[in-house]
A and B are shown apart, each in its own frame.
Chain A
């Protein structure tokens, strides 16, 4: 029991301030970024309406008009982890705020308009979960484009483009819900575990909105190697999906699409996909035995066709990619093979999708259009997932 004690630090009663509107939780940032963020926040709200939670002592001196609380034990993290949610909720309750703005690493690159949109969404728009939509390069966040976004959209009926955003706006009740989801993980000493706010809000029936926040510098994970980051993100989402199967198996209507400024493809995109294709073909020659445990013959046939395509004409059909991800999700659930092996076997297939995505967006359509097509394919193939989830032993050609 000692080991499972709640490790949340005592934030101190003397820091409590009653009547503030918004709690801003800042990840550890360089001094100039703290300055930038605080300036943007001060431009959105009166000084008396904001409580800033930061571990940075220097910021207090430069912004004496703002009210600060300690954010003890704020370990540097490249994304919003379970411990951050629990801490934010605790601070929100102590300060009796209406909303919480959580800003992740490199938040200094966010503009005033973007921060203002999230703040207004939470405080004035009655939104429980305000998610940012970043304007990033078409070749950035590809795991998000290829796996996280399509899966979240198809299963949780949410159009949030970045389900694992680094900045969030939360209502008080949403923060409490996220903290409740985080507590078991913290008790199991998994403070760094990822939580999925979109699925949490969708299951709770809370209101989710997405706001354009403009460009942002994305933080680099401590181990940016694809062999680490893909299993981490996809595995975490698969676990979350497994836990919420009762919710997503029911059909739900997707909210109408809103207009967003699209990231433009580079006019002359010379991104080399040869290495990715080589990786896929090499894996096709060696991993068939493992893929055949996970994928049905139809998908294996599709992969065979892909392996024979040359670089210029390499296109992975969206429906094939959707089924592959769904088959891996099912194998993850059924533990067909060791989950570490499963995620490792997914990497070459993901690289094949990335290569296909680059080819398609280079010649045929805008990057966002292709990502939306992939997401639509995931929606169309959802009955396949539901059927195999319910009857995994049924014949599957």
Chain B
């Protein structure tokens, strides 16, 4: 590597017609040394973490294979032992969907347990090889852990946002609020914005800027909604509330116009 770099430096210096001074030669030498040291560090890093990555992959692959085997064994044993029937007797029902049969659940739990175990072993091996390799300044592992946490946050936030959006939509539609979809979307995006801010904060990306931006955005959305209700959508809201009140009064009379029986759902 040193030879290559030296040659490269010489080749670069060759077109120069004037002889190099002592100072110039020293500069090139320093540059060469710096590049050399840098490549040395990167290669050392790769050499240091490569066994860890390999250990991680191997641990995950082996644990997955073990999981498949254990799952198949569990499924066979539980089927032979009529596990589903036994559970059904205690539960009082023998009806399972293919995805919720106890045998299937137990087998899946075994498989994913093995996979998670393999993940833990792999990460531990990676951690060990990384820690003992060299005192390099790159903090890759903690960042990886943060990334996993952030991914969980993102998934959870999405699930919660969808759940709340549906709850609001159905509740608002059954209450016949004219702005049902708007409310549902508002709730969904509020939760998503909150989730995004939490994810970025967890990843330590942006620092104070994210907090500030989130505060401005969240506060802005709430303020916009308040202004919309208070000023811009005053007519819309009053119309909606009036129609809601009319419906309530109609329902309180239980659809009992002259000559009609009142409607009772139960």
Same complex for A and B? Answer yes
Residue of A nearest to B166 (CB): A341
Q: Are B97 and A270 in contact (CB under 8 A)?
A: no
Q: Are A142 and B250 in contact (CB under 8 A)?
A: no
Residue of A nearest to B256 (CB): A271
Q: Within the complex, which residue of A138, A218, A340, A344 is in contact with B261, where a contact is CB–CB below 8 Å? A: A138
Residues of A within 8 A of B94 (CB): 245-246
Q: Does A4 contact B (CB under 8 A)?
A: no
Residues of B within 8 A of A243 (CB): 92-93, 95
B186 to chain A, nearest CB (A): 14
Q: Does A324 contact B (CB under 8 A)?
A: no
Residues of A within 8 A of B263 (CB): 139-140, 142, 271, 354, 358
Q: Are B170 and A269 in contact (CB under 8 A)?
A: no
User: Is chain B's interface secondary structure helix, strand, loop, or mixed overall?
Assistant: loop
Q: Are A341 and B170 in contact (CB under 8 A)?
A: yes
Residues 80 to 101 of chain B near chain A (Cβ within 8 Å): 92-95, 97-98
Q: Does B30 contact A (CB under 8 A)?
A: no
Q: Does A216 contact B (CB under 8 A)?
A: no
A340 to B265 alpha-carbon distance, docked (Å): 19
Q: Are A286 and B169 in contact (CB under 8 A)?
A: yes
Residue of A nearest to B92 (CB): A243
Q: Are B247 and A275 in contact (CB under 8 A)?
A: yes
> Can you list, as one digit per residue, whether each of B239-262 has a CB less than 8 Å from chain A (1) or not (0)?
000000001001100011111111
Q: Does B163 contact A (CB under 8 A)?
A: yes
Q: Does A365 contact B (CB under 8 A)?
A: no
Using A144-B266, A269-B259 as known contacts, list a sample of 14 further A-B pairs with CB atoms less than 8 Å apart, ordered by residue number in A. Answer: A137-B262, A138-B261, A139-B260, A139-B262, A141-B264, A227-B171, A233-B266, A242-B93, A279-B174, A282-B173, A286-B181, A338-B163, A340-B167, A348-B173
B14 to chain A, nearest CB (A): 71
A251 to B236 alpha-carbon distance, docked (Å): 54
Residues of B within 8 A of A184 (CB): 92
**Nearest 6 pairs of A and B residues by beta carbon:** A245-B95, A271-B260, A344-B170, A139-B261, A140-B264, A243-B93
Residues of B within 8 A of A393 (CB): 98
Q: Does A347 contact B (CB under 8 A)?
A: yes
Q: Does B180 contact A (CB under 8 A)?
A: yes
Residues of B within 8 A of A287 (CB): 169-170, 173
Q: Does B176 contact A (CB under 8 A)?
A: yes
- How big is the A interface, by class? 35 or more
A392 to B163 alpha-carbon distance, docked (Å): 24
> Can you list, as one digit per residue, whether each of A242-276 has a CB less than 8 Å from chain B (1) or not (0)?
11111000000000000000000011111110010
How many A-B pairs have beta carbons closer than 8 Å: the answer is 114
Q: Given A270-B257, A271-B255, A272-B260: A141 and B266 within 8 A (CB)? A: yes
Q: Within the complex, which residue of B95, B170, B174, B258 is in contact with A270, where a contact is CB–CB below 8 Å? A: B258
Q: Are B176 and A278 in contact (CB under 8 A)?
A: yes
- Can you offer 18 A-B residue contacts whose CB atoms are under 8 A? A137-B261, A139-B260, A141-B265, A141-B266, A143-B266, A184-B92, A224-B266, A243-B93, A243-B95, A244-B93, A266-B260, A270-B260, A272-B255, A275-B255, A282-B176, A286-B181, A348-B173, A354-B265
B26 to chain A, nearest CB (A): 71
Q: Does A65 contact B (CB under 8 A)?
A: no
A269 to B170 alpha-carbon distance, docked (Å): 31
> Can you list, as one digit per residue, whether each of A279-301 has a CB less than 8 Å from chain B (1) or not (0)?
10011001100100000000000
A4 to chain B, nearest CB (A): 15
Q: Are B169 and A246 in contact (CB under 8 A)?
A: no
Q: Are A344 and B264 in contact (CB under 8 A)?
A: no
Q: Given A140-B261, A278-B176: A290 and B95 within 8 A (CB)? A: no
Residues of A within 8 A of B262 (CB): 137, 139-140
B228 to chain A, nearest CB (A): 19
Residues 108 to 162 of chain A near chain B (Cβ within 8 Å): 137-144
Q: Does A229 contact B (CB under 8 A)?
A: yes
Q: Given A245-B93, A272-B255, A347-B174: A230 and B169 within 8 A (CB)? A: no
B5 to chain A, nearest CB (A): 62
Q: Given A137-B261, A233-B266: A290 and B169 within 8 A (CB)? A: yes
Q: Are A348 and B174 in contact (CB under 8 A)?
A: yes
Q: Which of A246, A286, A354, A358 has the most B CB atoms < 10 Å from its CB?
A: A286
Q: Does A221 contact B (CB under 8 A)?
A: yes
Q: Within the complex, which residue of A218, A244, A341 is in contact with B167, where a contact is CB–CB below 8 Å? A: A341
Q: Given A243-B92, A286-B169: A269 and B180 within 8 A (CB)? A: no
Residues of A within 8 A of B171 (CB): 227, 344
Residues of A within 8 A of B256 (CB): 271
A286 to B172 alpha-carbon distance, docked (Å): 10
Q: Are B93 and A266 in contact (CB under 8 A)?
A: no
Residues 327 to 344 of chain A near chain B (Cβ within 8 Å): 333-334, 337-338, 340-341, 344
Q: Does A43 contact B (CB under 8 A)?
A: no
Q: Within the complex, which residue of B97, B167, B258, B265 is in contact with A334, where a contact is CB–CB below 8 Å? A: B97
> Can you list, as one digit per residue, whether each of A234-248 has a CB less than 8 Å from chain B (1) or not (0)?
000000001111100
Residue of B nearest to A138 (CB): B261
Residue of B nearest to A239 (CB): B93
Q: Are A218 and B176 in contact (CB under 8 A)?
A: no
Residues of A within 8 A of B180 (CB): 282, 286
